[in-house]
Amino acid sequence: MSKKTLSGTNGVATNIRGWVYLLPALIFLIAFMVYPLIDVFIYSFEEGYNSASQSSFGVGLYNYQYVLRDPYFLKAVKNTFILVIITVPTSTILSLLIALGLNSIRALKNLFQTVFFLPYVTNTLAVGLVFMILFRKTPYSDGLVNALIGKFGISPVDFIDGPYWAKMLVLSIYVIWIVMPFKILILTSALASVPEVYYQSARIDGTSSWRMFWRITLPMISPMIVYLVITGFIGAFKAYSDAVAIFGVNLNAAGMNTIVGYVYDMLYGDGGGYPSYASSAAIILFAIVLTITVINLIVSRKATDIT
Amino acid sequence: MNVKIENLTKVFPGRDRKSEGVTAVDEFTLDIPDGKLVCLLGPSGCGKSTLLYMISGLEHPTSGKIFFGEKDVTDIPPEKRGVGLVFQNYALYPHLTVRQIIKFPLENVKGEARLSKEDMEKRALEVAKLVQIDGLMDRKPGQMSGGQQQRVAIARALAKMPDVLLMDEPLSNLDARLRLHTREEIRRIQKETGITTIFVTHDQEEAMSISDMIVVMKDGILNQLGKPQEVYDDPVNLFVASFLGTPKINIFKGFVKNGGLYVGSDDKAEKILDVNGIDDRQVWIGIRPEGFEIAKDGKLTCSLKGVDVMGRDISVVCSHPADDEVIRAIISAENDVDRDAQTVRFNVKPHKTFIFDRETDERIRFS
């Protein structure tokens, strides 16, 4: 072997070697990500595709027309959007407040960090079960939450099987609860990475803590906040297991289905067996997420320019 | 404004209850006159930055008092002390422009003292002009060189017209050429504004060249205080003598016997000077590089190792058994040194020769 290839300065050899290193990952990505993605895209235009016979009636926009007129789908879209709009800002702001609190205490800091991180390592369904028990109203008991709000003179509500707003409230609280630990973790480390000297300098200059937060802390951690908001949007749009954990698998009956839930139902649910409809719904979800993410990126880039 | 420090002590607690605390600054007393530029000089870890941070108010002293003028500021928070602080790494907010950074302290002011928007702009431009960065007002720190950032840091500290300007190793992040230039600039700015300035550095050359007064510190204790030339010419102990001056002072082992100063320790010891008023004892002898004179019948014989020509001067590099390190003597280039000779002989100048007690390192004066 020549000395050149050994040291890796030979362009072509390095290139080939690089691709060889990437190969295992690429094979899996292509087989399980790229190929299915293209496949789903194709199915979404194939009318009445049947995976057993690998046949379809024809090609066109019929699947999309069907899905977009399906009241279950529209309900799922509405639910998903409400969930996204409530949970993403709320969880981010709450996480930021908790992270700021964690960052400013000394005693018991590690204990609280662990406590706030616990939901992240707890099983989703187990948490869902606990939520159900907390919020459920049965003929025998109003449940803990109802007992609590009863103290303020509010009449008991069935949060699991009652009015729409109550169910949405529980789902939102649950989603916020589930996503916060990760956000707190990221924000705590982002806050800790702001050099202390900026705050010292600001103190010397008589900066109020309010102004320190808005003019120093927030701009310095804004890349992390942007990251959390974007991943938060994507995660919330893909919500499904959360709804199942609280309301069970028959989400259409509960009126709490989400877009991913609709896709699942179309494939495997009771009225399932419609891969074409599922594919179009999935592509619509993909389009929504892509649009929101692009808007997010544009807005955040403008926002960071101003600060 | 003059700054007075009285018995200031700072003890940092140990990591746990068992370990002892670290005394960074020990019973420090110092009086800094109004309008002067004073350097706190000492090796790393000598407590000079801690002292500066206590003056700024960011650190609270364990005991002792700090006065600005007649006012006791020991318990006053930093923002109410009227100090400007230039940090070692400048601490410029990376997301703000130079204009925003300079105006930042002005915008913090509330109530009647707050300037109008136009006045803030005017003040920012004024200080920017003073430090010569008025052409860079809309840049962000990342788009500027180290020297420019350093000026912005000074401008920000000056914008609120502080009574005392504090600088923590402001030149240490600059390259050698820029450092030389910037220290002249700091001197000029200080002269123009007349603000009492306290400057921390471990670079003795820097301290000597720009300050009105230097304070030499070691292990949290004030060793010597005075005008740079005075401290250089008249060090109080071995540490101060060896910390100041480039090339470094040459330290020989020696002794005093019957009014004679001997270099070396045995029978072969060479008597280099007559010293009066010192009892017989073991000593360290410090001789500044410029304290040597070449002489054919010189009293101090060294083995010649090399000769560096520096134009105006020549540096004679040699060794002597009584000094473990290389000896450097700087003599006028008019002298003729035989480079091939094995030995070189010197006489020493009495006022460039210092005697220190072997045990305590304290200076022993002779006449």
Q: What is the CATH number of the domain that holds B95?
A: 3.40.50.300
Query: Which of A118-122, B196-200, B270-274 has the least mean pLDDT?
Result: A118-122
Shortest Cα distance, chain B CAs vs residue A203, angstroms: 6
pLDDT value for A4: 46
pLDDT value for A2: 46
Q: CA–CA separation, A55 vs A46, rounded Å?
A: 9
pLDDT category of residue A307 using cuts at 50, 70 and 90: very low
For B43-47, the CB contacts below 8 A with 24+ separation are: B43/B202, B43/B218, B43/B243, B44/B202, B46/B217, B46/B218, B46/B219, B46/B220, B47/B10, B47/B217, B47/B219, B47/B220
The separation between CA B5 and the C-alpha centre of its own chain, rounded to angstroms, equals 18
Which pLDDT tens digit goes with each residue over A119-146?
888 888 888 888 888 888 777 777 788 8
A201 in contact with B, Cβ within 8 Å: yes
C-alpha separations of A146 from A142, A154, A170 in Å: 6, 8, 12
Flag whether pLDDT at A304 surpasses 70.
no
Q: CA–CA separation, B241 vs B246, rounded Å?
A: 11
| B108: nearest CB among A198, A211, A219 | A211
Task: Summarize the confidence of residues B264-278 as an average pLDDT.
Answer: 85
Flag whether pLDDT at A303 surpasses 90.
no
Q: Is the CB of A204 less than 8 angstroms away from the CB of B95?
A: no
Q: What angle do CA B186, B242, B215 make, to 5 degrees?
A: 40
Q: Is the CB of B79 less than 8 angstroms away from the CB of A205?
A: yes
Prior bond of A36 cis (ω within 30°): no
Is residue B236 located within the same domain as residue B314? no
Q: CA–CA separation, B209 vs B37, rounded Å?
A: 11
pLDDT category of residue A1 using cuts at 50, 70 and 90: very low
Query: Considering B204, B226, B243, which residue would you say is the last residue of a domain?
Result: B243
In B, which residues are within 8 Å of A201 by CB distance? 85, 87, 91
Predicted structure pTM score:
0.80
Mark which residues 236-295 of A lie under 8 Å from B by CB.
Answer: none
Nearest Cα to Cα of residue B323 among B289, B284, B353:
B284
In A, which residues are within 8 Å of B87 by CB distance? 197, 200-201
Q: Is the CB of A201 less than 8 angstroms away from the CB of B87?
A: yes
Give the SS3 label for residue A144: helix
Is residue B292 located within the same domain as residue B149? no
Shortest Cα distance, chain A CAs vs residue B83, angstroms: 7
DSSP character for A69? H
| A203: nearest CB among B78, B89, B94 | B78
Q: Are A146 and A193 in contact (CB under 8 A)?
A: no
**Which residue is it, tokens 């109530």?**
B111
B91 in contact with A, Cβ within 8 Å: yes
Chains A and B: how many Cβ contacts under 8 Å? Answer: 54
Q: Minimal Cα distance from A199: which residue of B?
A: B91
Mean of per-residue pLDDT scores for chain B: 90
Convert B174-202 to b/e letters by CB count within 10 Å (16 or more is b). Answer: beeebbeebbebbbebbeebebbbbbbbb
Shortest Cα distance, chain A CAs vs residue B95, angstroms: 7
Is residue B237 located within the same domain as residue B256? no
Task: Summarize the confidence of residues B238-258 as an average pLDDT.
Answer: 92
Mean of per-residue pLDDT scores for chain A: 86
Edge-to-edge strands, sheet with B250-257: B270-274, B260-263, B250-257, B281-287, B353-357, B363-364
What are the phi and psi torsion angles at B187 (to 5°)? -60, -45
Q: CA–CA separation, A70 vs B293, rounded Å?
A: 105
Q: Minimal Cα distance from B80: which residue of A?
A: A206
Is residue B46 located within the same domain as residue B167? yes
| A198: nearest CB among B77, B78, B91 | B91
Domain holding B151, by residue range, is 3-243
A200 in contact with B, Cβ within 8 Å: yes
Mutate to test the interface with A, among B50, B55, B87 (most CBs of A within 10 A): B87
Convert B144-170 to b/e letters by CB count within 10 Å (16 or more is b). Answer: bebbbbbbbbbbbbbbbebbbbbbbbb
pLDDT category of residue A10 using cuts at 50, 70 and 90: low
Reading the block at residue A25, the tokens are 């990952």
Query: Considering B243, B270, B292, which residue would you say is the last residue of a domain?
Result: B243
Flag whether pLDDT at B291 surpasses 90.
yes
Q: Is the CB of B91 less than 8 angstroms away from the CB of A201?
A: yes
Is residue B201 located within the same domain as residue B274? no
Is residue B86 located within the same domain as residue B210? yes
Shortest Cα distance, chain B CAs vs residue A231, angstroms: 24
Which pLDDT tens digit goes with each residue over B9-44?
999 987 777 778 888 999 999 999 999 999 999 998
Q: What is the ipTM of this complex?
A: 0.82
Shortest Cα distance, chain B CAs vs residue A98, angstroms: 24
| Extents of the domains making up chain A | 71-306
Query: Which of A133-142, A279-288, B212-221, B270-279 has the least mean pLDDT?
Result: A133-142
Burial class (CB in 10 A: 0-12, 13-18, 19+), B312: exposed
Q: CA–CA separation, A231 vs A300, rounded Å?
A: 13
In A, which residues are within 8 Å of B105 by CB distance? 205-207
Is residue B237 located within the same domain as residue B286? no
Q: Minimal Cα distance from A304: which residue of B?
A: B95
Alpha helix stretches (DSSP H) within A44-163? 62-69, 71-104, 109-121, 124-135, 144-150
Nearest Cα to Cα of residue B67 among B83, B50, B52, B55:
B55
Flag whether pLDDT at A52 surpasses 80.
no
Reading the block at residue A18, the tokens are 């690089």
Is residue B27 located within the same domain as residue B91? yes
Shortest Cα distance, chain A CAs vs residue B243, angstroms: 30
Is residue B16 located within the same domain as residue B47? yes
Q: CA–CA separation, B356 vs B364, rounded Å?
A: 5
Is residue B258 located within the same domain as residue B163? no
Q: Is the CB of A219 less than 8 angstroms away from the CB of B93?
A: yes
**In chain B, how many domains are there?**
2
Give the SS3 label for residue B272: strand
B89 in contact with A, Cβ within 8 Å: yes
Kindly report the number of other CB atoms within 10 A of residue B70's CB atom: 8
pLDDT category of residue B157 using cuts at 50, 70 and 90: very high
In B, which residues are within 8 Å of A211 by CB distance? 107-108
| A204: nearest CB among B79, B96, B109 | B79
What does DSSP say about strands B343-348 and B300-309: parallel, antiparallel, or unpaired? antiparallel
Q: Is the CB of A201 less than 8 angstroms away from the CB of B84?
A: no
What does DSSP say about strands B71-72 and B63-68: parallel, antiparallel, or unpaired? antiparallel
pLDDT value for A271: 63
Task: Compare A52 and B185 and report the one with higher pLDDT.
Answer: B185
Beta partners for residue B332, in sequence order? B313
pLDDT category of residue B342 using cuts at 50, 70 and 90: confident
pLDDT value for B104: 93
Mark which residues 41-60 of B lie under 8 Å from A by CB.
Answer: 56-58
Instruction: Give percent of chain B above pLDDT 90.
Output: 56
C-alpha separations of A224 from A183, A231, A237, A261 in Å: 9, 11, 20, 30
Q: CA–CA separation, B318 vs B338, rounded Å?
A: 13
pLDDT value for B65: 93
DSSP one-letter string for B138-203: T--GGGS-HHHHHHHHHHHHHHT--SEEEEESTTTTS-HHHHHHHHHHHHHHHHHH--EEEEEES-
In A, which residues are within 8 Å of B58 by CB distance? 200, 203-204
To the question of domain A71-306 being in CATH 3.40.50.720, the answer is no
Task: Summarize the confidence of residues A20-31 as an average pLDDT.
Answer: 94
Give the SS3 label for residue A226: helix
pLDDT value for A9: 56
Is residue B145 located within the same domain as residue B67? yes
Contacts of B205 (CB under 8 A, 6+ apart): B246
pLDDT value for B128: 92
Q: Is the CB of A203 less than 8 angstroms away from the CB of B58?
A: yes
DSSP character for B244? S
In B, which residues are within 8 Å of A301 by CB distance? none
Highest mean pLDDT among A133-142, A273-282, B64-73, B335-344: B64-73
Query: Considering B195, B228, B243, which residue would you say is the last residue of a domain?
Result: B243
Is residue B50 located within the same domain as residue B181? yes
